[in-house]
Structure 1
Amino acid sequence: MLKSLAVLPVFFMIATAPVLAGEPADAVKYFYDNLGSETQPENRDRFTGPALEFLNAANAAWERDETNCIEFMFPVDGQDFDDAEIAKTLKLDETVNGDSADVTASFSNFGQATQVEWSLTKTAAGWQVADIASEANQWRVSRMTCD
């Protein structure tokens, strides 16, 4: 009994730790399980590189004079979404090459096939999103600017 109790604090710390140090697809799935969370400041630790720089610039522009630099949701490649349909149809395909990974999220949203490409980098914090893109709508976060 005492041995079991000694393990509980360790188990609790592991169970409540942020899910950053998993497979690349798991890091991306977080954003589909929590649609709209990609722009929330408390999720900045899930980003690195160009994606992090753009999100920080967008926050700074909003705080400065309420300039809105993000006009759609990156994970769904649009402004509106059917979360139940996305959850039911979501497929994540990952390709890992050392400390880099690409994850393609394929899903249906209001009956329309959609693909969003995620580029991740493995850092000391785990797999973090470095870029997000849509070939269909020709945008890439790393090419976005926010003044």
Structure 2
Amino acid sequence: MDPTRRSVLTLLAAAPLATAPALAAETAGAFLAEIYSHYTGEGGMGVPLDNPATVERYFEPTLAKLINDDAAQAAEVDDLPELNGDPFVDAQDWDLANLKATTDASGPDSASGHVTFDNMGEAKAIDIDMVRTAKGWRIADIHWSEGSLRGLYTH
């Protein structure tokens, strides 16, 4: 094989790495900060989990499927889904103050997030298990004082 052709083939083989989504390179801390940026400031609207694509943007595939399947089944029978509130603030309404979010790496492709804030005067602490997927960081579970998001679907 001539050297020019070999160079072209090498460049073509490396192209998928160069064009991978920028989300795959973000840190777990940046992913967590992006989520909570939707809850602060004037008119913080949160992260509406009202369509499958948004759920898949934030949750790893097996948890996203549980959330989306539950929402679809609840809609079919005109009932409320198991997730009946905002999992990121453990409430249906919010007015956050004193928000602090930190992350700890628990492996090359996993991290734990620790979020504390006051919501309408009530202190809250939430722990978030995150995993790195081919599409970037995603949530594997959210732990509240009285349970977990994944636990809603395994009772």
Corresponding residue of 1:29: 33
Deviations 1:43-88 (A, max 9, x none): 1232114431321222221332222122211111111211xxx2x5
CA contact (8 A) 1:121 1:127 kept: yes
Query: Does residue 56 of structure 2 align to residue 62 of structure 1?
Result: no
Cα displacement (A) at 1:144 = 1.2
Query: Does residue 111 of structure 2 align to residue 101 of structure 1?
Result: yes
Distance 1:145 1:100 in 2: 22
> Identity, % of aligned pairs?
22
Please list every run of 5 or more consecutive structure 2 residues that lacks an aligned counterpart in the other structure. 1-18, 39-45
Q: 1:75 to 1:121 in 2, by over 3 A?
A: same
TM-score under structure 2 length normalisation: 0.69
Distance 2:22 2:61 in 1: 20
Distance 1:124 1:24 in 2: 14
Cα displacement (A) at 1:130 = 1.0
Q: CA RMSD in A?
A: 2.4
Please list every run of 5 or more consecutive structure 1 residues that lacks an aligned counterpart in the other structure. 1-13
Tell me, what secondary structure is at the counterpart of 2:88?
helix
TM-score under structure 1 length normalisation: 0.72
Structure 1 residues 37-46 or 63-72, which shifts more? 37-46
Q: How many residues align structurally?
A: 125
CA contact (8 A) 1:58 1:68 kept: no
Please say which structure displays the higher CA radius of gyration: 2
